[in-house]
Amino acid sequence: MSAANITVSTGNDTMSGSAPASADAATNAPPAGPAGPQVNEMELVYHISLLILALIALLFVFRIPSMVARFTRSTEWTKGHIFSSSARDSSPHIVHVTREKEGMGMGSSDDSHTYYNHGSQPQRIDGKGLPTEQNPPPHVSMCPAFLRGFAAELRTRVLPGYSVNQVICVLVYLASWIYPTFYKCNPLSEPVRTGWIGVAQLPFIFAFASKNNVIGPFLGMGYEKLNFMHRAAGLIMVVAINVHGMGYIMKWVIKGTFQESIADPSMYWGLIGLISCDILYFFSTEGWRNRAYNIFFASHVGGFSLLLAGTWQHFEVTHPWVWAAIGLYSFDSLCRWIKTRIHTAVIRPIPELGMTRIEIPQITGGWRAGQHVRIRVISSGMGVYGWAETHPFTIASAPGPEGMIVMVKKVGTWSTNLFNMAKFGNGEAGVGRNVTVMVEGPYGGPGVTLPSSHSAAVFVVGGSGITYALAGINELIQKDLRGESRTKIIELVWTVQDPSSLVPLVPQFSAMIQSSVFTPVRISVFYTRAVTGKFPFAKDFFHPRLSLAPGRPKLASILEATISKTTTGTSAGTRSGMMVAVCGPAALADDVVNQVGKIDPTRRDEVGGIEIVEDVFGW
């Protein structure tokens, strides 16, 4: 951006840089404020924006080692960006050469329903029957060993859903804008400055929010993990624009020139921008987001369109910032269009879980476990507006010939309509239904974390968060079968309300346990509600390594047990850390993070460090 045309200073009290959008605006411009030292407003906020980009670049530098580790595998280059429909069957050949007794189940309750069985000693062989070479991925710890304690402190939650890390990021961002707000300026008597601060937020607001944003890939994180910065930038903009607008309105009212001043097109467009900004903020609050998502969404789209139009018409000098926001939005829209597929899916009800299973067999690859999609079900059965709504869901299957599976919990109107459609379907025996779906993605996921590069993986999930674990564990098993994994211990801890929730997933859990021939998967299900009536399972119903117990999981002892198994099962030189993946409500994620933070530093170092991957179903 050239600063050559910037001539106006704080002293003359208009948006500095060049001419106002309207020719009359210069004469109708707000009265001059107190004479002060010359400050080029536009240049000031431009340089602060550059400073913030430089800070983001600094964070990127810390991510480079993990990124290099991930992208040394050519297969990783194509994963996680765009869906494909040509899954190659890369199943390895496995032979079973001996039989031996398997280990004991992991019980954390006296009332555990577990039994033991015999397994076999498998071996990977190639097409000629010769043992195959293993090719595990490189492991690069997210932080050096001497900083692990500090990193654990940074992960500590200070507010529900907010870590120290996030609070620091917000404070640094805030401080970066407080400085130019007050630099040689009293924002109350010279409101032009806060106008610039507000306008300068626009590119950041769009960059932090868009699904395909330009910052996320450099930081190795999905858009949903950057949403807290979108909110911070948004809040700064709302405050700044209000101080700016109210400052002028007060001046005009005191001077008795309000009507005359606001009649100027550049001024009333400014007022339109201010009002749309406030409406946008009001409908963005948590209550609206949680209880009336559609109103939140519609007000966001409408509010931002008007805000951009208002800013554009307000003063011509704002155009580069508006262009930047439009550019980011256009890039996002283009990527969304490229990432969208329309297919016929099969939907089936899972009454025990209160969920609907969406099967999209045409999409067989292109995603990483832990990523989510945005789905629109184009059917009149979804309601008057429901067919037009797009909802995010974590992919519940690993890439493979069986295709993509998504599981949707019945919580509100949209998901209930979907469940009802599936229940009274047109499929086999009247259950299940073919519907047209628009699938956009994949988004989010583990970022630069390579789950299969860790010695141990623990999945702690609650309720419908099981979708994340199903995909994650199946992907680990597949990689392990191909000899592309370092993971030697896989634990799943699933908390549900009712033990009958387990019934529909028993076949899937059994398949996971049976196929995990090299790295035994252990599944512990906990139910929190008292059982009324007959217990849904016979004592000998369960598969080896699958247990069901009442109460909440004792996370501390589960994590410690996994560390012990890892340290006894592997030699110190080969240990490459433990990944703890958590998926479910924000409170569960907070609990897991706090429990991991309490692990004894010596034990943490013995296992090679602990990395947490979070997927929370909400913003």
Ligand X SMILES: Cc1cc2nc3c(=O)[nH]c(=O)nc-3n(C[C@H](O)[C@H](O)[C@H](O)COP(=O)(O)OP(=O)(O)OC[C@H]3O[C@@H](n4cnc5c(N)ncnc54)[C@H](O)[C@@H]3O)c2cc1C
**Which of 218, 192, 201, 209 has its CA nearest to residue 67?**
218
Among 310, 370, 392, 553, binds ligand X (CB under 6 A): 392
Q: Which is nearer to ligand X, 197 or 496 (CB)?
A: 496
Among 211, 368, 372, 433, binds ligand X (CB under 6 A): 372
Q: How far is CA 129 from CA 136, 149, 191, 461, 512, in A?
A: 21, 47, 78, 39, 25
Q: Distance (Å, rounded) from C-alpha 252 to C-alpha 282? A: 26
Contact call for residue 31 and ligand X (CB under 6 A): no
Contact call for residue 351 and ligand X (CB under 6 A): no
Residue 542 C-alpha from the chain's centroid: 34
Q: Distance (Å, rounded) from C-alpha 52 to C-alpha 32? A: 31
Contact call for residue 459 and ligand X (CB under 6 A): no
Residues in the chain: 619
Q: Which is nearer to ligand X, 10 or 394 (CB)?
A: 394
Contact call for residue 391 and ligand X (CB under 6 A): yes
Among 252, 321, 387, 393, binds ligand X (CB under 6 A): 393
Contact call for residue 411 and ligand X (CB under 6 A): yes
Residues 6+ apart with CB under 8 A from 406: 357, 358, 360, 373, 375, 393, 394, 395, 396, 467
Q: Which is nearer to ligand X, 297 or 331 (CB)?
A: 297
Q: Distance (Å, rounded) from C-alpha 318 to C-alpha 344? A: 46
Q: Which is nearer to ligand X, 119 or 432 (CB)?
A: 432
Q: Which is nearer to ligand X, 420 or 500 (CB)?
A: 420
Ranges within 415-454 binding ligand X (CB under 6 A): 415, 444
Contact call for residue 166 and ligand X (CB under 6 A): no
The token pair at 236 is: 């700064």
Ranges within 272-301 binding ligand X (CB under 6 A): 289-290, 293
Q: Taking a C-beta distance cutoff of 8 angstroms, is the pair 43, 13 a contact?
A: no
Amino acid at residue number 115 = Y
Contact call for residue 413 and ligand X (CB under 6 A): yes
Contact call for residue 348 and ligand X (CB under 6 A): no
Q: Taking a C-beta distance cutoff of 8 angstroms, is the pair 396, 402 a contact?
A: no
Contact call for residue 554 and ligand X (CB under 6 A): no
Q: Distance (Å, rounded) from C-alpha 394 to C-alpha 414? A: 16
Among 307, 345, 407, 439, binds ligand X (CB under 6 A): 407
User: Which one of the spans 39-47, 165-173, 266-274, 407-415 is the region binding ligand X (CB under 6 A)?
Assistant: 407-415
Number of residues that bind ligand X (CB under 6 A): 24
Q: Distance (Å, rounded) from C-alpha 436 to C-alpha 46? A: 47
User: Which one of the spans 201-209, 406-414, 535-543, 571-579 is the region binding ligand X (CB under 6 A)?
Assistant: 406-414
Site string for ligand X, 211-250 (x = CB under 6 A): -------------x--------------------------
User: Which one of the spans 307-315, 403-411, 420-428, 549-557 is the region binding ligand X (CB under 6 A)?
Assistant: 403-411
Rounded to 5°, angle at Cα 365 from 359 and 368: 100
Contact call for residue 210 and ligand X (CB under 6 A): no
Residue 48 C-alpha from the chain's centroid: 27
Residue 253 C-alpha from the chain's centroid: 46
CB 357, min distance to ligand X, A: 11
Among 108, 467, 501, 524, binds ligand X (CB under 6 A): 467
Phi, psi of 165 (to 5 degrees): -50, -50
Q: Which is nearer to ligand X, 411 or 531 (CB)?
A: 411
**Which of 439, 382, 437 has its CA nearest to residue 413?**
382
Phi, psi of 83 (to 5 degrees): -75, 150
Straight-line distance from the first to the last Cα atom of the chain, in angstroms, rounded to the nearest whole number = 34
3-class secondary-structure state, position 515 = helix
Would you tell me which residues interact with ligand X (CB under 6 A)? 224, 289-290, 293, 372, 389-394, 407-409, 411-415, 444, 464, 467, 617-618
